[in-house]
Structure 1
Amino acid sequence: MLHQYMEQLETLGLNLFFAAIFFFIGMAIRDVLKQGNVPKFGRNIVWLVLFLGCAGFIAKGIIQMTWETSGIG
């Protein structure tokens, strides 16, 4: 039974790994911004860029999943 779901488990594990990486990057950025006394506008720009990176990754996953289920990719 495990062999049937191996590809799905690998995909889930990879997605969880990327989520953990984004979390740790966010925590590191938060620490650097706090210690560097960065102005509020600069902090907002940094968080916007990080959010857009996460949103792009999520959008890619959704598009890939829909294409694979419809038989395109």
Structure 2
Amino acid sequence: MLNIRFEQWEALGLNLGLAAIFFLIGMSIRDVLNKGNVPPFGRFIVWLVLFLGCAGFVAKGLIQLFWEGAGIG
């Protein structure tokens, strides 16, 4: 019983930690872009790359959830 709860808390902490890191990365990138007078196309590319990185982690989590639910993983 304790082991199952520990794994759930560990997974929750990892997901929240990754979300916090992505938030802090986004805030620092926003600050650098504002101070560096970056053109709009460059800003778009930077935010697109950041979004795709976040989307990759979300997709990984969803794939893992579906595979565990189907008994594959």
TM-score by length of 2: 0.93
Identity rate of aligned residues, in percent?
Answer: 73
Tell me the distance in 2 between the aligned counterparts of 1:30 and 1:22: 12
Tell me the distance in 2 between the aligned counterparts of 1:2 and 1:72: 24
Displacement of 1:2 in angstroms is 4.6
Question: Any idea what SS the aligned residue of 1:13 has?
Answer: helix
Matched residue type, 2:51: F
Tell me the distance in 2 between the aligned counterparts of 1:42 and 1:22: 19
Cross-structure match for 2:61 = 61
Cross-structure match for 1:46 = 46
Tell me the distance in 1 between the aligned counterparts of 2:53 and 2:4: 32
TM-score by length of 1: 0.93
Displacement of 1:3 in angstroms is 4.0
Tell me the distance in 2 between the aligned counterparts of 1:60 and 1:8: 17
Equivalent runs, 1:16-55 vs 2, <5 Å = 16-55=16-55
Displacement of 1:69 in angstroms is 1.6
Aligned residues between the structures: 73
Tell me the distance in 1 between the aligned counterparts of 2:20 and 2:37: 26
Alignment root-mean-square deviation, CA: 1.1
What are structure 2's unaligned runs of at least 5 residues?
A: none
Matched residue type, 1:20: A
